[in-house]
A and B are shown apart, each in its own frame.
Chain A
């Protein structure tokens, strides 16, 4: 009887609910376990790895983690944003230029303005996609030129400055020397935006549009509006990532870093389906930490750092190939 009951989706015992939860979040949990193993491994190969290492890891991972969250949101909504790196560069240089030599309090205004700017940049991306019906990948690729161009107009070469408080909130430890401030910043920003969003109707709509656009449309979701909102949120997180860059380096850099492509890699590793509708932001963040830690580990092992890039690419290829293989086999059955 139970087989037939579960087949029709009826309630099962509580244990099954836990099993279901684990199964659904299995990938993120597996990544966390892998991260833990990797940390142990790091400690073994580099006994001196400790507070300083954790600090460095958290600070270097912050902009990329925020970029990965940005990418995750629009990919969950069924799109992809290749302009994240450029939006980061633009918001970062604007913040750096405006804050240089200004009083600390003015920095607050700048930060808020830059966040609003991020929302606007993203909304423009989304609106162009919705109204021209040009594929997401083409529009955001083109917009990556545009935003990077504006970044260069704002600041031709690295420069500017950062309000001290902005640097202070991500540098150094918090309460306990083992807890880097940047990790707290990451948890707080993501927690403040993502968790309420995910439970809101907008969040549901983003998942719905990415999961099955037709079903979402039939469920009464405004597909175009949702898409624009998802891209606006992507812009917001890209702006946060840009601020993270300015805060961690103390300057603004107009040339986009490798953040766009690495964010794509991170979300794929983090269990977000490129087909849309599946995944969350925890997986991508853990994936970013893993990628950064692998890089440090290779330094500790005296492996050529360039091979770290190879490893990153090989991991990406391996994971997606394995995932595709599983899907193909399931389809064949």
Chain B
């Protein structure tokens, strides 16, 4: 008899727990598959490459914003300014369409503005040790207000979503492959590899897991955090520009409705808001899960309301499950 066969059945639950804890991506992918199956049952014949590419295209801006939340949550923080920064970036880009310099200049200016917002966040959180929730909330208000003021200032000039960005955001190569994926895949890869294989990625975990240990090992948390919130703002800006291309809308509140789902995607993906635990792989699956649920509910003719209730319930249940399996000894 092999030792494996000798394992009593009672420990099956424990093994599921351990799987959930050590490889949260596996049960999440299973959940995703289950949801896709449900969709196929609800709308037979729809699930296919075209359907999938639509899901992916719509999930990408959410996945990028959820990346902002993942990175900041790993350090025990959160970035609630991503909605305002993303919307601002898209809108600023759109206002430069008819200006000398064109939308390209707009992108540069938008990214610079986003970096400035990120710097402010980072200085507040890292140097002044303001609670990240409050700091990013305040910076979000400032960015929103400034974007609004910019809107008034540029009301006379024409605004529009640049052709190229619309292509990048919503068109598909061979009708299957979203162009935005070409843009997103390298970004996702950088985040995934960066978290695992770079010293900076390790430090994000270290600062979030145990700031005292990180400090005693010679890490200066403020450096880590200032850079982190700048990265987060930059990613948010890119997400906003993509979202504008996807929806063909430029508005200063365009991405606001994605802020809470972005936190939800990270939480579902197994990133702990207390810091030190999680990763981007889970977040990607989390964003896809949210997107498939949305699609499923739309297919079933359920109103937006049901989607929200379900999102909320899932986040609580998943977070409770993670808390249970990780709270041993």
Binding site for B on A (CB under 8 A): 80, 128, 132-135, 137-139, 141-153, 156, 261, 264-265, 268, 274, 304, 306-314, 316-317, 320-321, 324-325, 327-328
Whole-angstrom CA separation of A80 from B273 in the bound complex:
14
Instruction: Check A144 against B319 for contact (C-beta < 8 Å).
Output: no
Q: Which of the residues A141, A312, A325 comes within 8 Å of B260, measured between beta carbons?
A: A141
Given known contacts A152-B304, A321-B130, is B141 in contact with A309 (CB within 8 Å)? yes
Which partner residue on chain B sits nearest A319 by CB separation?
B138
Q: Which of the residues B80, B306, B315 comes within 8 Å of A149, measured between beta carbons?
A: B306
Whole-angstrom CA separation of A7 from B325 in the bound complex:
48
Instruction: Check B308 against A149 for contact (C-beta < 8 Å).
Output: yes
Whole-angstrom CA separation of A308 from B152 in the bound complex:
14
Which partner residue on chain A sits nearest B121 by CB separation?
A317
Instruction: Check B152 against A304 for contact (C-beta < 8 Å).
Output: yes
User: Which residues does chain B contribute within 8 Å of A324, judged by CB atoms?
Assistant: 128-130
Which partner residue on chain A sits nearest B151 by CB separation?
A306
Whole-angstrom CA separation of A206 from B148 in the bound complex:
40
Which partner residue on chain A sits nearest B306 by CB separation?
A149
Instruction: Check A150 against B309 for contact (C-beta < 8 Å).
Output: yes
User: Which residues does chain B contribute within 8 Å of A321, judged by CB atoms?
Assistant: 124, 128, 130
Q: 26 interchain pairs (CB within 8 A)?
A: A132-B319, A133-B320, A135-B274, A137-B273, A138-B273, A139-B319, A141-B260, A145-B315, A149-B306, A149-B307, A149-B312, A152-B304, A156-B305, A264-B133, A304-B148, A308-B145, A309-B144, A310-B142, A310-B146, A313-B145, A314-B138, A314-B142, A316-B138, A317-B124, A317-B130, A320-B138
Q: How many residues of B contact A (CB 8 A)?
A: 48
Q: Which of the residues A138, A146, A265, A308 comes within 8 Å of B138, measured between beta carbons?
A: A265
User: Which residues does chain B contribute within 8 Å of A145, judged by CB atoms?
Assistant: 260, 264, 308-309, 311-312, 315
Instruction: Check A325 against B128 for contact (C-beta < 8 Å).
Output: yes
Q: Which of the residues B124, B137, B267 comes within 8 Å of A265, measured between beta carbons?
A: B137
Instruction: Check B134 against A320 for contact (C-beta < 8 Å).
Output: yes
User: Which residues does chain A contribute within 8 Å of B309, judged by CB atoms?
Assistant: 145-146, 149-150, 153
